[in-house]
Structure 1
Amino acid sequence: MTTVTHPLVTHVRQLASGVLAPQAERVDQEGVPASHVAAVKRSGLLGVSAPKEYGGAAAPGAVARETAEILSGACCSTWFVQTQHHTPVQLLAQSDLPVRERLLRPLATGELLAGIAYAHVRAFPRRPVRATPERGGWRLDGTVPWYTGWGLNDVMLLAGVTDSGELVFAFTEAREQPGLRPSAPMRLAALTATRTVSLELEGLWLADGAVVLRAPYERWSVADRTKTVNASPAVFGIAEAALGLLDEDVAGSLRTRLDEVRRRAYALADHPVPNEHLAERLALRTQAYEVMRTATTAAVVAGGGRSMTLTSKAQRLAREGLFLLVQGQTAESRRAHLNALANNMP
């Protein structure tokens, strides 16, 4: 990948090599420590795409992608905790509601870390979380199946759906409070370290001033679709890390394939019309998965029996790769991936 000459890329490389990568196997077993979050906050990464007037870097998309690759390849758990933060920042930057002035600067400068609790709205017309107008604000009831970063995040972006099919996105503190109860941290096959819980909402009340977006589901889903058809930089980051465990005679052809898929995927990510070439984007997303799967499998094979130990980097990367297969998955992306797997069977 062509290195983007930007201070954030330099800072994140130093963070990755000096802090994250040396501790990745321990973090995988013990959990993302608060010290990692503090280091990410200090790096400036949390404002990578935020407006400069609010303390962000307003960096190009290529910078955001490269820093995501570096972080995910060094410690996927830390990457996944912090990647939640960027959607709330983007929503605030696009909003003209009062919450923008209250939260955008502390989120862009890294004073606060945000998490997200809205993937469940993709289940529409089912409504895992219902939003009801109440007392100059909104009452939220239901279950958030996944919330990452519990105990690490400062604020969270929650979403619910009204009876009329309108989505309501609003902020609240990321802590137990009246109407909001977390589960115990989940034990997962990969990324247990991210402190992922489910949330039970029973009459959680959020003021109108906490709302960052209200939109009909149909309108919101058009923009959301463009995010979930593109290949994730983390997939390339994990693949690169796995290739680093192989002899060059094995890694060479895989790296050539990886570079080509990444080049094409990122060219479409930068396309001026985000909802064009959707089929090609989905195809490249699937191809990126396949390169990652091959690279992590090769790393496990090369490691032999050592790959079965929990201290093995190859084994960790293989499990993280499995996680990325379903991260950000929608019915459409799942169907495209399954079709590609079925058509490629020997």
Structure 2
Amino acid sequence: MTTAAHPLVTRARQLAADLLSPRAERVDQEGLPASHVQALKDSGLLGLNAPTKYGGAAAPGAVVRETAEILAGACCSTWFVVTQHYTPVKLLASADLPVRERLLRPLATGELLAGIAYAHVRAFPRILVRATPERGGWRFDGTVPWYTGWTLNDVMLLAGVSEADEVVFAFTEAREQPGLRASAPMRLAALTAARTVSLELDGLWLPGEAVVLRAPREEFALVDRPRNANASPAVFGVAYAALELLEGSPDAKDTARSLRGRLDEARRESYALWDHPVPHERFEERLAWKLRAHDLMRAATTAALVAGGGRSVLLGNRAQRLAREAMFLLVQGQTAEVRRAHLDHLC
């Protein structure tokens, strides 16, 4: 870890130690409480990547990644809800539109928490959500298969694809309204606590001033592709949390030492690629280190299960929770291209 002196890293560690980690097994079984969200809003962490002009911290990438590691290693469900927030903030910061002046400051200061509903755009050529110009705004129809943070988020960033093959991003309130209906919360093998639902859109109309970006789908894909090739900081967070368990087991210290050295290397190389000035370059190298990080996360969480013995199969056991969270991270944000590469890697 290299950014310990930054105040937001210190704040994340304190939040993890005092609240998130001690209650993680309970949250995993009972759901993420609104009090966790309020603690995050109060912490200043929601403004990590927001401009200082709007009340944010404008933290460097290394700080953003390290806070993600800390939160994911302490309580992956909490991390998964809060990580959705940063894309809307980043998008608003780069948009010279009225919606920025309306939403960026409350999102940066923690007054509001945002979620995202756009992963379905990656399913192209299937169009799961169609955006159609109507009455000076946009009408959205279709299904959002995954939306995380329902009843916890205040606003959502929604995307659809137009007949002109343009991706349209717009903000709306994260609640049921005419044209928007949520399913019951999904029961998942991991991160059920993050309150994930699917959304049915049937004529949801949003005004033109709600739009934050319109971009040709191919242009969006060019920006989105390297994002999914990079190793997620959450992978390192969960892996390091498993190593901490291993290091507390007398029989597993050598295993922990070996895995930690390899994990440190993967982290260092992966983050150097995150900081590369041209995001869409060195794609294959990014993907190779992502898969290496996944291998090490699986090894670390499996080793923690083995070291824990029979206790590891108890639902309230930390090693077992980390192993399920690792399983989740293998497919989180997955594209067809990443899936094919991962399967080839496992041959």
Q: TM-score by structure 2 length?
A: 0.98
1:29 alignment counterpart: 29
- For the residues of structure 2 that align with 1:250 and 1:330, how far apart are their CA atoms? 32
2:273 alignment counterpart: 268
2:282 alignment counterpart: 277
- For the residues of structure 2 that align with 1:41 and 1:161, how far apart are their CA atoms? 32
2:61 alignment counterpart: 61
- For the residues of structure 1 that align with 2:145 and 2:277, how far apart are their CA atoms? 34
Partner of 1:26, secondary structure, is: helix
- For the residues of structure 2 that align with 1:336 and 1:51, how far apart are their CA atoms? 36
> How far does the alpha carbon of each residue in 1:288-326 deviate from its partner, in whole angstroms, 9 at most, with x for none?
000000000000001111000011000000000000000
1:171 alignment counterpart: 171
Which runs of at least 4 in structure 1 moved beyond 6 Å after TM superposition? none
Contact 2:3 2:62 in 1 (8 A): no
Amino acid at match of 1:277: R
- For the residues of structure 1 that align with 2:104 and 2:2, how far apart are their CA atoms? 31
- Alpha-carbon shift at residue 54 of structure 1 (Å): 0.4
Contact 2:148 2:196 in 1 (8 A): yes
Output aligned runs, 1:173-252, within 5 Å: 173-247=173-247, 248-252=253-257
Contact 1:66 1:233 in 2 (8 A): yes
Amino acid at match of 2:298: R
Question: Which one of the candidate residues 262, 270, 285 is aligned to 1:257?
Answer: 262
> How far does the alpha carbon of each residue in 1:116-147 deviate from its partner, in whole angstroms, 9 at most, with x for none?
00000011121100011111100000000000
2:102 alignment counterpart: 102
- For the residues of structure 1 that align with 2:3 and 2:298, how far apart are their CA atoms? 24
- For the residues of structure 1 that align with 2:284 and 2:14, how far apart are their CA atoms? 37
Residue 337 (structure 2) pairs with residue 332 (structure 1): yes
- State which drifts further: 325-334 or 69-78: 325-334
- For the residues of structure 1 that align with 2:287 and 2:319, how far apart are their CA atoms? 27
Question: Which one of the candidate residues 305, 311, 321 is aligned to 1:316?
Answer: 321
- Alpha-carbon shift at residue 335 of structure 1 (Å): 1.2
Partner of 1:245, secondary structure, is: helix
2:306 alignment counterpart: 301
- Alpha-carbon shift at residue 97 of structure 1 (Å): 1.3
- For the residues of structure 2 that align with 1:4 and 1:217, how far apart are their CA atoms? 39
Contact 1:4 1:62 in 2 (8 A): no
Residue 293 (structure 2) pairs with residue 288 (structure 1): yes
2:141 alignment counterpart: 141
Q: Unmatched 5+ residue regions in structure 2?
A: 248-252
Residue 75 (structure 2) pairs with residue 70 (structure 1): no
Partner of 2:105, secondary structure, is: helix
- Alpha-carbon shift at residue 250 of structure 1 (Å): 2.1
Contact 2:4 2:10 in 1 (8 A): no
- Alpha-carbon shift at residue 96 of structure 1 (Å): 1.0
- For the residues of structure 1 that align with 2:278 and 2:56, how far apart are their CA atoms? 25
Contact 2:66 2:233 in 1 (8 A): yes
Partner of 1:328, secondary structure, is: coil
1:150 alignment counterpart: 150
RMSD (Å) for aligned C-alpha atoms: 0.7
- Alpha-carbon shift at residue 273 of structure 1 (Å): 1.0
2:112 alignment counterpart: 112
Partner of 1:168, secondary structure, is: strand
Equivalent pairs: percent with the same residue?
A: 75
- For the residues of structure 2 that align with 1:96 and 1:299, how far apart are their CA atoms? 48
- Alpha-carbon shift at residue 3 of structure 1 (Å): 3.5
Amino acid at match of 1:230: N
- Alpha-carbon shift at residue 269 of structure 1 (Å): 0.5
- For the residues of structure 1 that align with 2:295 and 2:31, how far apart are their CA atoms? 28
Q: TM-score by structure 1 length?
A: 0.98
- For the residues of structure 1 that align with 2:98 and 2:328, how far apart are their CA atoms? 36
Partner of 1:160, secondary structure, is: strand
Amino acid at match of 1:287: R
- For the residues of structure 2 that align with 1:178 and 1:3, how far apart are their CA atoms? 46
- Alpha-carbon shift at residue 238 of structure 1 (Å): 0.2
- For the residues of structure 1 that align with 2:94 and 2:4, how far apart are their CA atoms? 26
- For the residues of structure 1 that align with 2:308 and 2:22, how far apart are their CA atoms? 18
- For the residues of structure 2 that align with 1:225 and 1:104, how far apart are their CA atoms? 25
Partner of 2:149, secondary structure, is: coil
Amino acid at match of 1:280: E
Amino acid at match of 1:58: A
